Every structure is written in structure tokens, then in C-alpha cells.
Amino acid sequence: MDHADPIARFEAWLAEAVAGEPNDPNAMCLATTTPEGFPSARMVLLKGVDPRGFVFYTNFESRKGGELAVNPEVALLFHWKSLRRQVRIEGTVAEVTQAEADAYFASRHPGSRLGSAASDQSRPLPSREAYLERVAALRAEYPAGDVPRPRHWSGYRVTPHAIEFWQERTYRLHERRRFVRSGPGDWSSTLLYP
């Protein structure tokens, strides 16, 4: 195992998950805090990873968007049950560039673009029909599904300051290694008791 570069290790583990995990190998739990300091968690999808960090997209006016505006410190958790592995990430979010958000939004299925544009994510919805009517109105306006990216929809990059890898072993003799960023591109790592 690579003990110097946690991003390379993560990419290798993700590749194994993509090959062997039956559902959403890029699913991760995103933990934030409410303005009052209470924990708040939900599943989101990883849409990119590189040495700069881990990228996901969302509605900035959603509950999570509001929480991230108040406190940009987050935790991510990947759990690949079939591989008996998990990765914990702690870091700081920052918005992706407009160009990155535009490119990703344009790559989405037209139905997903329409659904995102029609949604006031996390706000009260009077009925499912009301949402479906908004989607239908946008579909009528953009029959090819080429709705432009809403200004409130974009992405975040989590720049990690700590990454921990956990591998299940028999008799609970699990292997844990924690990486802590010591400078740009520099990491130190430590084995932890399971």
C-alpha cells in the first residue's frame, strides 16, 4: 500500500469499488453542522477526485448549502461494504469554478438537468404534483432538456486535511492508517489501533 500519497491510495480503492461494489461506489456520506452546531449528514455522490480534493454538486440554496455557507468544515465517509473498507475524510469546502459547474451540469442526463432546475431543494413542497408540474413546464420550454444551469446550482471541492483508511481484517484485527496534511502535497501517515 502507498504510505505517501493518500489521494493515489483513494483512487486505487475507488477503482476497486467501481469494479466490485454493486451500487453507487461513488456514494459518500457528507457531514456538516447546522448553524446551532448540531451534526447533519446525508448521502451525496462523488463526481471528481484529484490532488486538489473531492468534488460533489448540489443546490447552494438547499439545507446543506446553507450549512456549508456558515461552516465550510466537513467530513466525508465512503463505506464499501462488499470490499470491507471505509475511508474517512476531513476537510474544507470551496466552490468549484463556474466553468467546472457548467461542464458537469451539461454532462448530466437532460431529465436530471430539468429536475435540478425545477427543485427548490430542502424547502417545503405542497405536493409531488406541484414539483412534477414545474418539471413539465421546464420540459415544454426546453424540449431537448438543454435547460441552462441555475445560478444556485454548482459544486464544492473538499480540500482534505486528514484522510483515514480502514480495512477489515479477521477477528477485528482491522488495519487503520491516518494521513494528515503537513503542507501542500505533503502528508504524514500513522497506523492506528483498530
Query: Does residue 147 register a pLDDT over 70?
Result: yes
The domain that contains 19 carries what CATH number? 2.30.110.10
Choose the catalytic residue: 63, 172, 176, 181: 172
pLDDT at 1 over 90: no
Q: Which domain holds residue 162?
A: 6-105+153-192
Classify residue 81: in a domain, yes or no: yes
Confidence of residue 189 (pLDDT cuts 50, 70, 90): very high
Give a yes or no: residue 86 inside a domain: yes
Mean pLDDT of the 126-138 span: 94
Domain membership of residue 135 (yes or no) is no
Question: In this predicted structure, what is the pLDDT of residue 22?
Answer: 84
Tell whether 112 is covered by a domain: no
Residue 2 pLDDT class (50, 70, 90 cuts): low
Residues 6+ apart with CB under 8 A from 109: 145
**Residue 185: predicted pLDDT:** 79
Residues 76-119: tens digit of each pLDDT: 999 999 999 999 999 999 999 999 999 999 999 999 999 999 99
* Number of structural domains the chain divides into: 1
Does residue 172 belong to any structural domain of this protein?
yes
- Work out the average pLDDT over 7-28: 95
167 lies in some domain: yes
Report the mean per-residue pLDDT for the chain: 94
Q: Tell me the average pLDDT across 35-63.
A: 96
Helix, coil or strand: residue 63: helix
Reply yes or no on whether 177 is catalytic: no
Phi, psi of 97, rounded to the nearest 5 degrees? -70, 160
User: Residue 3: which pLDDT band, with cuts at 50, 70 and 90?
Assistant: low
Note the Cα 27 to chain centre separation in Å.
7
Residue 184: predicted pLDDT: 81
Between CA 73 and CA 158 the distance in angstroms is 9
Q: What is the mean pLDDT of residues 177-184?
A: 92
Q: How far is CA 102 from the centre of its chain?
A: 17
* Any domain includes 141: no
